Amino acid sequence: MATVIVDIREKTSRVPGILKELGVKVIYARLPVGDYSPTPGVLIERKTVQDFVKSLKQKRFQRQLYELRTSGDRTLIIIEGKGLFSTMGMKPEAIMHTLAIITIGFGIPVVMTQNSYETAKFLKIIASREKVDIEEMRSLFFKRKASSPDDEILRVVESLPGIGPKRARKLLNRFKSIKNLVNARPGELLEIEGFGKKRVEKFLEFVEREFNED
């Protein structure tokens, strides 16, 4: 079951209730930054359109933005609602300027949702990401050109099913070469952080699979 950690200050929001209706396990906690953590290492700040504009006018959002940026986690901002650029009290150009600073200056993605249901649905998709390895998808869709012999080896390993860039680096730091990696024993693979039994089985099945063009 997908699980989302929700900051206790979000209890009054409709989002946690919708998450439960969608079959997501909700755990309330005091998050140091952000409102939701749909997966370890990911923090999401949720703002309604009205709250987003109000926090900009009151200079609260600048502090929150800095906290997100320096949290050490992957962060994302959800702005929920309609009429962001027609909200009373702030010029559209000023809002666009702020969004440019958030996305380009701070490197924090911004996702727009129309209502609480869309927000909850999006959180569920992230929380269910163990079914689709995001790092693996990134390595498949954005092939990098090797910049060095070491990077060429890293690129090969990160393209393997269930690996991705972070795990590829951990594996190569441990086994040093592709030959050592494919000859590694299951117990040795299990010693690597982020390599559980299912991932090891998937990796071993792949390296032992025979090519059959027919």
Q: What is the pLDDT along the chain (214 residues), one digit of tens a residue?
A: 789 999 999 999 999 999 999 999 999 998 888 999 998 888 999 999 999 998 888 888 888 888 888 876 789 999 999 999 987 778 899 999 999 999 998 889 999 999 999 999 999 999 986 544 545 544 444 455 667 888 888 888 887 877 777 888 889 999 999 999 989 998 999 998 878 888 888 888 888 888 776 6
Q: What is the pLDDT of residue 141?
A: 44
Burial of 54 (0-12, 13-18, 19+ CB in 10 A): middle
What's the Cα-to-Cα distance from 51 to each of 13, 46, 115, 123, 212, rounded to whole Å?
13, 9, 14, 19, 58
Please report the domains of the chain, with CATH numbers, ordered by start residue.
3-130 (3.40.50.10130), 132-208 (1.10.150.20)
For residues 90, 96, 102, 108, the Cα torsion angle rounded to the nearest 10 degrees is 120
